[in-house]
Structures are given as structure tokens and as C-alpha cells.
A = this chain, B = another copy of it.
Amino acid sequence: MILINGLSRGQIPVTDRGLQYGDGVFRTMRAASGRIAWWSDHYAKLSADAKALGLICPPPDLLLAECLKVAQEHDCVVKLILTRGVGPRGYAPSGSADPTRIIQQLPPPANLARYLDDGIKVRWCSIRLGHQPRLAGIKHLNRLENVLARSEWSDPEIAEGLLLDESGRVISGIMSNILVIRGRTLFTPDLSLCGVAGVGRQRLMRAAQQHGMAVRVTHMRPQDVYKADELGLCNSLIGVWRIRMIEETSCGNGGWVDKMRVWLDEDD
């Protein structure tokens, strides 16, 4: 099921700036038992991302009602795209009308239970993320770097790729944020130059602090990742996965990821 501006449709006009320029932002959310998980955090992030691009964000009650209508009591993924709407040719956003709201019901991610139980294997991607402070952290529709990164392998045993930036710093997974645990400290990369600052990451940072961990947003290199006691990847759909192996190197298991998975859904 798909709702476009509240109507049951499956198509958008070619003139929508979401297609023409990737001029929009999005959210992918978990829905279960007629609820959208982490809705308040998702809306806050959508609204902040929209503001950063100069988009008008529709009110939360309208969007939540549409997401719930699309989810229909299913255990599913709800993807919400907000574009700048239809406009004339040209980059100037002034001519554009109201934003377009696109809300889709999608199946849950594949292999979720297995990855949660066993942990996952990851690889380093060769593409480096470019720096763009004006877009960093935002979950916008310009995702070609992620597409190219995900094109680098087809081995189904590798669940995710790790991304470095142009300076060689560790930034994130392709579709997830990275959590580096050492002692009682949770380290996660600074995302002020590139990457997406996910809602799962934000919830975990908050929860880790509540549970007595120190939380540090830092610059990190691959060698810092290898020195961790335990490594996790998080996003709104998977919760937290433990990284079992980076290429042929086994990673530790300090039991933190299992705890964090529980923390993530506290205070929803």
C-alpha cells in the first residue's frame, strides 16, 4: 500500500523534484501491532532534516495518521519520503508548490532474526564518502554514494559494508551507524562532514548514558575499530547487530550489543 499526499496511489509526477534532483528527505520506520516504533524521534529527525533543506514539514499528527493507515496492523517497514514537490525545470526551489508526502508499506528486512542471533560479517568499502557539511547527517534522497558502495559486493554472507570518508576516517555502515564499545564507553563517529545521523544511533547514545556508559562522538580510524571490545551496527529497522567479523578478522563479544537491543526500545 502506498499513500501519496493522503491518496492511495502508486505513482508520482515526473516533474516532482524528488525525482528530478533528489530534492527531499526520508525515513524508514518499523511498524508492529498498529504502532510506528520510535515515532517521536522519527518525526523530530524528519522535521530537522526538512528544515535543513528549506522544506516545509507537514504536521506530526497528519503524517502519523498516514503512516498508521499504510502499516495496517502489519509487522512491516513504513518508508516516508518528503519531497519539495512538483516544480518547473531548474534548480531554483522558489517555483515549487507544496511538498509531496509519499508513504509506502514494505516487507521487513531479510535475514533479520539470523543476523540478530549470530551477528554479521562486514567488509570495508572502497568508495570514500565525500565531505559536505551542508548535507552531512541528513537523510536526504541523494544516495548514490550508498548505491555505489552497496554495488561493491554480492556475497550474501556479507551483510553490510563499512564506509570511510575522504580523509580515511570511519563514518558508518552503508545503511547503518557504527557503535564501537571499549570498556564502559560507547564511541560513535562524528557525522558533521558526511554520513547520516540515524535515529537508532541517537536513541542508543541517550540510552547508553542512562545505563551508565560514557558516550563519545569522535573521529576514528580503522585501527580504532579493530581495538574495540565489541562492535555494533544500528538502524531503525534492524535495531542493533553485533559485528562478528570484519572481512577475515573476528571481533569480540562483550555482551553489550544484546543489552543495547533491549535499551533501544525503552522509553518509546
Separation of A132 and B16 alpha carbons in the complex (Å): 26
CA distance A146 to B23 in the complex (A): 10
Contact across chains for B130 and A21 when beta carbons are under 8 A apart: no
Among B84, B127, B130, point to the contact of A130 (Cβ < 8 A). Answer: B130
* Known contacts A93-B151, A144-B21; A102/B14 CB under 8 A: yes
In this complex, what residue of B is CB-closest to A129? B132
Question: Contact residue range for chain A?
Answer: 35 or more
- Of B11, B77, B154, B175, which contacts A91 at CB under 8 A? B175
Is B142 a contact of A144 with CB atoms below 8 Å? yes
Given the complex, which residues of B lie within 8 Å of A255, measured CB to CB?
none
Interface centre among A2, A13, A91, A145 (most CB of B within 10 A): A91
Contact partners of A132 in chain B: CB under 8 A: 129-130, 145, 166
Cβ distance A21 to chain B, nearest Cβ, rounded Å = 4
Residues of chain B within 8 A of A135, CB atoms compared: 130, 144-145, 148
Contact across chains for A147 and B91 when beta carbons are under 8 A apart? yes
Bound CA span A175–B89, Å: 11
CA distance in complex: A21, B135 (Å): 15
A21 touches B146 (CB 8 A): yes
Q: Which residues of B contact A141 (CB under 8 A)?
A: 19-22, 144
Bound together, the chains give a CA A90 to CA B107 distance in angstroms of 11
Bound complex: CA of A4 vs CA of B12, how far in Å? Answer: 13
Is the pair B143, A104 in contact by a Cβ cutoff of 8 Å? no
Contact B14 A54 (CB under 8 A): no
Closest B residue to A11 by CB, please name it. Answer: B11
Asked if A13 contacts B11 (CB within 8 A), the reply is yes
- Does A198 count as interface, using CB distance less than 8 angstroms? no
> Chain A 140-166, CB within 8 Å of chain B: the 1/0 string?
111111111111001000000000001
